[in-house]
Chains A and B, each alone.
Chain A
């Protein structure tokens, strides 16, 4: 056991003394994470969070419904979401959109309210006012489709309430008249009553389908884009590290140090165990250094500490399995190096290190399940979103199973090649 441990520690020290290896083990993932943070705006607070959508309200109606809509955009409920400004000049407001100064302009034209709720002297038109509607204009910024879409959705929601009240009133009156429950001479009185109702209850009419809204427990979690990108890069270069470790097994044979070990009172299984332990230690050290550095320099919150540590160990175990497998397949240290680098890049792109797997074809998403990157990245994302170790059972089990299967296959292949035999 002690011999296995010592061989592992020796390999760990050799790896961290190799400046060339350190470039790809530590410098590359760190610098690439820094670059990704810069280009995504993570360091300039320019992330694409959905808040304070600039919208210009031009209320030319200045009556009940127009005012209600304008008030809605200024309401406390939408205070975090919207950043409304008022204007009285539609053309100037449109120009601001063309200059990309806001997401949309909502122009409530003059006569909007009266096209829906007739004036007191014209109440007979309640059921026919829709024939020539006065339309609200949403002048949308095409370069801000999400913000403009949300503005449109808010206007839609307001109008759906107005329309529902209008239809409800209209149907009630028509039915009362047709059933003879009210004589025709009472219609103006009923309409007047309903118009009052429409004006005062535009914004609080109940839904026919009740909506039970519930909020999850816990604190709000704002997802940090770097919490996806940093583990993505660290995991990609973890594959380099494990293949580097695997390469050392073949290198020891080529350089003659492996035969020397074998003539000492050390069993082949102790040597192989020590080499695997060394790869595991190096990978774990690499991951923990990168996690520590990104926490320190980028203020990145990785989430539940215990969960992070266990996930790192599981990810390194899964990746070590791949390192052993690559070594078992290769004949020379150079082959391990080049195949390892290729697998690092393939697993990187197919495991979600470059772009989210959600944007990949279904076949790639299925293939990604053989990569430790995909499972570990899934676990790190869960932790960054506030999850704990209890939420990581699937990725951890997958990584452990991956490592175990690959290790057993590699040992079998090593045996066939008589790689570590006296």
Chain B
């Protein structure tokens, strides 16, 4: 026991010899958790097509058009200056731009000179949709004036106006009538939301907290391989041969030390999740502990196996970072796994990160307990058993 503690303590001293290790142990995980919590797509974002609007008129009519566009279920208007809009359009960052010119007002509509400019990128389906949405908006805004103009034309077919003022009065009366009818127009469409089960159960804070915890804990646990390589390069592993220490004692000391450090790191990140992000990590502490320990053991086992193949510390460090990042990405720690293609969703089940992430989300997002996370825990412990066996079998001091 004393030997185990001494080996674990020695590894902790080596790891934290430089204060910069704290960057990776706690500072960067917290920064990433915080940023990704607000930055990853939640599935509840405004998915409407972006429509850049340049309002040069700033009249009630132009405001009405923008207001109608905001009600659209297809486009999301975003007001920019003409220069900004043209710059984005030229750089193809904007698919569609609506320019409402300075002279657009009620008088222009009445005179039949009102117009807006709609610019679109070639062969762009988003532009086709946006064009219809703009047509709907300007039709709604201009329809009362249009109706009044048509009423004047119908009147002129049935006689003449004696003066321009009589014509204007007729128009004004018709406009008032049309506006009343428009205001009282009945809703002719009803929207009913289906009961399609939502495939994406997602809370950006919960997913970010769980995902970043796994990412930043798996990478150093894979780094056990670098510890072995370092000791092998330094020759200190060979020296252990001269002491009454069994291989199992050395491996157990190294691995349990790293797993313990991982549990400390995870605890800090869990506390950050509870107290800063308001997540319910503390609801099922026993289940959480079991899951975190299983995940740490699985990652530590993979690191042990890697350590038996990799020769230098530099290669081990690089591979640990690369494998940690790739496994986190593919395991759904950065983006919701439900958004992956179905084939990829099936393939990534061979990764421990996938199971760890699912277990974490079962606890924090789906309100599960120990029973619900048993499958994930079982698979993670299976990974641990498999890779520890390979690692111990292949481990050499030299």
Contacts and interface: CB of A to CB of B under 8 A. Distances in A.
A295 interface: no
B60 to A, nearest CB: 13
B136 A157 contact: yes
By CB atoms of chain B within 10 A, which of A99, A211, A220 has the most? A211
Interface string B307-336: 000001011011101100110011000110
Given A35-B329, A35-B330, A135 B188 contact: yes
Contacts of A28: 318, 321-322, 325
A345 interface: yes
A342 B194 contact: no
A352 B134 CA distance: 32
B110 to A, nearest CB: 9
A160 interface: yes
Interface string B91-119: 11100000000001000010000111111
A366 interface: no
Contacts of A81: 125, 128-129
Interface residues of B, number: 111
Contact of A172 (B18, B117, B123, B150): B150
A86 interface: no
Interface stretch (B154-162, B285-293, B298-306): B154-162
A413 interface: no
Contact of A167 (B39, B147, B188, B200): B147
Interface string B130-152: 01111110111111111111110
A18 B315 CA distance: 9
A149 B73 contact: yes
B9 interface: no
A116 B185 CA distance: 12
B190 interface: yes
Given A39-B340, A342-B23, A209 B115 contact: yes
By CB atoms of chain B within 10 A, which of A98, A152, A206, A209 has the most? A209
B73 A31 contact: no
A9 to B, nearest CB: 22
Contacts of A178: 173
Given A172-B150, A208-B109, A342-B20, A179 B155 contact: yes
A178 B195 CA distance: 51
Contacts of A156: 72-73, 136, 189
Given A41-B340, A143-B198, A175-B170, A160 B139 contact: yes
Nearest to B199: A143
B350 to A, nearest CB: 13
Given A149-B48, A212-B118, A136 B28 contact: no
Contact of B192 (A139, A161, A168, A206): A139
A interface residue count range (under 10 / 10 to 19 / 20 to 34 / 35 or more): 35 or more
A299 interface: no
Contacts of A116: 188
Dominant secondary structure of chain B at its interface with chain A: helix
Nearest to B130: A153
Contacts of A136: 188-190
B274 to A, nearest CB: 22
A150 interface: yes
A168 B182 CA distance: 10
B314 A382 contact: no
B142 to A, nearest CB: 3
Interface stretch (A271-279, A304-312, A384-392): A384-392
Interface stretch (B30-38, B252-260, B378-386): B30-38
B103 to A, nearest CB: 12
Interface in B258-283: none
Interface string A43-83: 01010011100000000000000000000000001101100
B122 interface: yes
Interface stretch (A250-258, A314-322, A353-361, A399-407): A353-361
Given A35-B329, A208-B146, 8 more contacts: A38-B330, A135-B190, A138-B189, A142-B198, A163-B143, A208-B143, A218-B122, A359-B41
Interface of A: 18-21, 23-24, 27-28, 31-32, 35-36, 38-39, 41, 44, 46, 49-51, 77-78, 80-81, 94, 97-100, 116, 130-131, 133-146, 148-150, 152-157, 159-164, 167-168, 170-172, 174-176, 178-179, 181-182, 206-221, 334-335, 338-339, 341-342, 345-346, 349-350, 354-355, 359-361, 364, 381-382, 385-387, 391
7 contacts: A152-B189, A167-B181, A174-B177, A209-B116, A213-B119, A220-B121, A359-B39
